[in-house]
Structure 1
C-alpha cells in the first residue's frame, strides 16, 4: 500500500481511532481549519478545501485499489474536507468583519454538529453521492454534507442575530 496515500486518507492515522473514526476526523479538521484561517483567512481555508478534496480523491483511490470496500471507515480525509466547508461561513464573517474567529464558538459547535448529522444520516443528494461506490463518491458525499451544514450555520446565525437578539433586546 502507498504509505503517503494511507497517511493522507487517514489524516496521519486519525482514521484508526475508535469508536466513530468519522467523528474523530471531523474533530481533527477543527484545529486545521483554525490554522488555515489564522494564516490566510478565507482564501487559504477555501484553497485548503480544494486541495483536500483533490488529495482525498487520489488517496482514497490508492487505499481502495483492489478492495471490495470502496469506503473503509479509516478513510477520514473526506470528513476533513466536509468539515472545512461547514466552517467557511465563519471564516467569511471573521475575514470580512474583523471578528476573532474563535469568538464565534457557537458557530463552530453548530458547524460540527450539523456536519456530523448530515454525514451520518445522508439525506437526499448526500446518500446518492455515497452510493456511487467510488473515490469521488466517498469525497462528494462529505462535500455535500459540508454544504448542507454551512447553509445550516448561515440560517442559524441569521435566526440568532436577526430574530432572537432583537427579541431579547426588547
Structure 2
C-alpha cells in the first residue's frame, strides 16, 4: 500500500508514466497546477515548495529503491518542484507559465553547470536537487523577461 502511495507521489499523479517524454509530461502537469492554483502570497508559495521538497526527496528515494533504479524516468516530482521554483514570486499568467515551462525544460535537458554535479547526491536528494537548481536558473531568466516586459 505504501509503495503505491510513493509511486503516486513520485510520478506526479502518474503523469510520469505517460509515453515517451515523462519529464515533459510532469512539467506540463506542474504548469497546469501552477496556472490554476498557484497562490499570490510568497509565503504560501514557499510552504508549497518546502512540502514538495520533502515529498520529492522521500517519494523519489523510496520509489527508486523499490524499482532498483537510481533515477527512474517516471519520477517527475522533481520536475514539479523545479517548475514551482521557476514560478516562485512570479504571477502565473499564461505567458509566464508557458515561458517557464519552455525555459525549464531546455535547462533541465541541457543541464548547464553546475546542475549535473547535483545528480551525484545520494538517493532522493540527487533526484530532486538538480531540478531545483534548473528551476532557480529558470526563475532568474523569467524575471529578466518579466522585467524587460517580454512576458
Q: TM-score, normalised by structure 2?
A: 0.89
Runs of 4+ that moved beyond 4 A:
none
1:70–1:133: 8 Å Cα contact kept in structure 2? no
**What is the aligned partner in structure 1 of residue 31 from structure 2?**
30
**What is the aligned partner in structure 2 of residue 142 from structure 1?**
131
CA shift for structure 1 position 61: 1.2
Higher relative contact order, structure no. (Cα contacts within 8 Å, ≥ 6 residues apart)? 2
**What is the aligned partner in structure 2 of residue 153 from structure 1?**
142
SS in 1 for 2:86: helix
Q: Cα deviations across residues 55-77 of structure 1 (Å, max 9, x unaligned)?
A: 01000111122655211000000
Pick aligned residue for 1:111 from 76, 81, 100: 100
SS in 2 for 1:89: coil
**CA RMSD of the aligned region, Å?**
1.9
Query: Structure 2, unaligned stretches of length 5 or more?
Result: none
CA shift for structure 1 position 110: 1.5
In structure 1, C-alpha distance between the alignment counterparts of 2:31 and 2:88, rounded to whole Å? 12
2:3–2:66: 8 Å Cα contact kept in structure 1? no
In structure 2, C-alpha distance between the alignment counterparts of 1:45 and 1:9, rounded to whole Å? 20
Aligned length: 149
Normalized per residue, the structure richer in helix is: 1
Q: TM-score, normalised by structure 1?
A: 0.80
1:36–1:48: 8 Å Cα contact kept in structure 2? no
In structure 2, C-alpha distance between the alignment counterparts of 1:115 and 1:64, rounded to whole Å? 23
In structure 2, C-alpha distance between the alignment counterparts of 1:157 and 1:63, rounded to whole Å? 37
